[in-house]
Amino acid sequence: MNRTAAHIAIIGAGIGGLALAAVLRRAGIAADIYEQAAAFGHVGAGIQLTANATKALTPLGILPHLRRTGFAAALGYNRMWNTGEATNVLPMGRAIEDRYGSPDLSMHRSVLHFALAELIELARLHLGRKLVGLAPDGDRVRLDFADGGTIVAEAVIGADGLHSVVREALFGAERPRFTGKVAYRTIFPIDRVVGHEVEERVKWWGPDRHVVSYVTTAAQDEVYFIAVVPDAAFTRESWSLVGDHAELLSAFTHFHPRARALLAAAPEVRKWALLDRDPMPSWGEGRVVLLGDACHPMPPVMAQGGASAIEDAVILGRILADGGLDDVARAFERYGRIRRERTAAMQRTTREGSWMRHETDADWVYGYDVWKAPLDAAVPAAALER
């Protein structure tokens, strides 16, 4: 396939789809992105980019902007919900950079999203195009959109998130697993918190619930929190559903006053159900493959959902640039073999749920350099069963 004439279709302009288009563009490979939303919005959530994620983004040139805009906490606290006793204090800031060669940055989610979108050729970003189905068309793939339009592509990457239509077309309908927990999240000005210190980064660990909060701006004027509680009855997953603030506060009445002061200061909260899926034995078929949450969703416990989607994008982009366009099906197979074991390990660790509560070896996550990872790693299928 020719680098500029090949029709590569990426479904979904989320973190993974945009990162892939950016990596491909850097390699001189053109790709079209089809996104269901009519415009990019400002979703009120923070995102932590751990050192492996910032390292993956460095060659794309957006790290200086993320450093200027986002925030690098000096310390990360893990605390008991009631006494406030620290169970694990993570040296971050300079210590992370010294250890892993790249920073850990927290920011508003849209800062990352818009920085990635800036790297894309505008004419190749097709907004308001919702994929509804796909089917083989000779040795290519036909894509059907909700607006009645159809295109034929030589390679398709489903970066269309947790409820991936591409995944369903390949492997059949399978509902994601409800974890039994819901999350409340919000971002707001720090000066709304009165009478209590706002720590740069802290996780309050309760017996069956927790709160994570961190500063999201270089100016240190905004704070984000996500508060997770069991709620077997609520299964809606939406970025925009408004939550009941009083309900949130009553779920954390036994928490430390500093944690409660933070929750109480929020002007409003969003609420959504936490869903996940099991690791998959295969991510694609022929000329179609999945990326990011479409194939390895993980609830926000390790801050690796977005990071691993970016890693996927780099590995897939490197493979396509390394002769992969000559045999796309083989390239996609190679990509899955390299990526499945690492993302499955992240999914299992996420599900286990105690990441960083006490001293934790994080080198296998943060120390990974996706640009240097070998592209010939053959991972035995048995590794997925660990």
Among 8, 29, 47, 319, binds ligand FAD (CB under 6 A): 47
Q: How near is the Cβ of 92 to ligand FAD at its closest, in Å?
A: 14
Sole window of 69-77, 79-87, 300-308, 368-376 interacting with ligand FAD (rule: CB under 6 A): 300-308
Q: How near is the Cβ of 53 to ligand FAD at its closest, in Å?
A: 6
Q: How near is the Cβ of 381 to ligand FAD at its closest, in Å?
A: 24
The residues pairing with 223 across neighbouring beta strands, listed in sequence order, are 188, 215
Q: Are 43 and 239 in contact (CB under 8 A)?
A: yes
Return the closest-CA partner of residue 21 out of 111, 125, 99: 125
Residues 6+ apart with CB under 8 A from 297: 161, 162, 176, 275, 276, 277, 305, 347
- Quick note: the x/- pattern for ligand FAD over 60-99, rule CB under 6 A, is ----------------------------------------
347 contacts ligand FAD (rule: CB under 6 A):
no
How many angstroms separate the CA atoms of 291 and 294, rounded?
Answer: 6
Q: How near is the Cβ of 190 to ligand FAD at its closest, in Å?
A: 18
Q: How near is the Cβ of 380 to ligand FAD at its closest, in Å?
A: 26
115 contacts ligand FAD (rule: CB under 6 A):
no
Residue nearer to ligand FAD on the CB measure, 248 or 326: 248
- Is residue 368 part of the annotated active site? The answer reads no
What is the DSSP secondary structure assignment for residue 101, as one 8-state letter?
S
Sole window of 82-90, 306-314, 316-324, 373-381 interacting with ligand FAD (rule: CB under 6 A): 306-314
11 contacts ligand FAD (rule: CB under 6 A):
yes
Return the closest-CA partner of residue 31 out of 213, 157, 212, 164: 157
Among 23, 62, 112, 159, binds ligand FAD (CB under 6 A): 159
The interaxial angle of helices 15-26 and 109-117, nearest 10 deg, is 30
Cα distances (angstroms) measured from residue 32 to each of 9, 211, 309: 5, 39, 18
Closest chain position to ligand FAD (CB): 14
350 contacts ligand FAD (rule: CB under 6 A):
no
22 contacts ligand FAD (rule: CB under 6 A):
no
306 contacts ligand FAD (rule: CB under 6 A):
yes
44 contacts ligand FAD (rule: CB under 6 A):
no
Q: How near is the Cβ of 12 to ligand FAD at its closest, in Å?
A: 3
Beta strands in the chain (DSSP E): 8-11, 32-35, 46-49, 75-80, 86-91, 105-108, 125-127, 131-137, 140-145, 150-153, 155-158, 177-189, 201-205, 210-215, 222-230, 242-243, 269-276, 284-285, 288-290
Among 44, 243, 292, 324, binds ligand FAD (CB under 6 A): 292
How many angstroms separate the CA atoms of 91 and 100, rounded?
Answer: 12
The residues pairing with 285 across neighbouring beta strands, listed in sequence order, are 288
Residue nearer to ligand FAD on the CB measure, 77 or 84: 77
The residues pairing with 89 across neighbouring beta strands, listed in sequence order, are 77
Return the closest-CA partner of residue 280 out of 343, 355, 359: 343
Q: How many CA atoms lie within 13 A of 300 on its CB side?
A: 24
165 contacts ligand FAD (rule: CB under 6 A):
yes
16 contacts ligand FAD (rule: CB under 6 A):
yes
103 contacts ligand FAD (rule: CB under 6 A):
no
Where in the sequence numbering do the catalytic residues fall? Answer: 214
Q: Which residues bind ligand FAD (CB under 6 A)?
A: 11-17, 34-37, 45, 47-48, 53, 130-131, 159-161, 165, 185, 226, 292-294, 300, 303-307, 309
